[in-house]
A and B are shown apart, each in its own frame.
Chain A
């Protein structure tokens, strides 16, 4: 069964450093998403991406965050200058249709630890 993959599984970085989290969505999916889950808190939507541009973003997704689909298979989340509060589990997801129109498939997540 096709699945979303994410690398790395765990990333440790120092405050102020840039990190790039990588995702390979399911190949025939057109919509891509990033979510995060701070330890002990709810899953939160960050951004959705369709047709090579951001379609929605939440308040969390400020200027420190960016997403890119550099080629036909990868979808990345960049945090320019990490803060302690960016420590969380980051999930990538993809779907055939848009929000609420087709099921979203989540990757296993990348645990980001900012020290």
Chain B
């Protein structure tokens, strides 16, 4: 089955700097890679996702890149703001099959003002 590893477990950056979180996956059949942001006391919120037919996707200050050959994908946040502070989870699955979805362990991002 799929196994997702996420690094780093904690990340601290200064406001305005960029943050990068990396995930690797094991199942080459995985083709859907969502990223979630979880703020304190709330459930995970989908912030961006990428499918395997795309190498990069961007939404304002957030971008995700996917390297299918190396089986890794990354979340990039530019111009970080204190409100970006949260736990971020990556996940990998085969579209249409929730049972195969595996989450990373999470990265606690702290943006210092």
A interface residues, Cβ below 8 angstroms from B: 4, 6, 33, 41-45, 48, 55-58, 91, 93, 98-101, 103-109
A99-B95 in contact (CB<8A)? yes
Residues facing A in B92-108 (CB within 8 A) are 93-99, 101-106
Residues facing A in B38-89 (CB within 8 A) are 41-46, 49, 51, 89
- Most A-side CB within 10 Å, residue of B43, B51, B91, B106: B43
The chain A residue sitting closest to B32, CB to CB, is A100
A44-B103 in contact (CB<8A)? yes
Interface SS, B side: strand
Chain B: interface residue total (CB-CB under 8 A): 27
- Most A-side CB within 10 Å, residue of B46, B94, B102: B46
The chain B residue sitting closest to A92, CB to CB, is B43
A51 to chain B, nearest CB (A): 15
A100-B43 in contact (CB<8A)? no
The chain B residue sitting closest to A40, CB to CB, is B105
A100-B41 in contact (CB<8A)? no
B109 to chain A, nearest CB (A): 17
Contact of A100 among B89, B94, B102 (CB under 8 A): B94
Contact of A42 among B93, B95, B99, B103 (CB under 8 A): B103
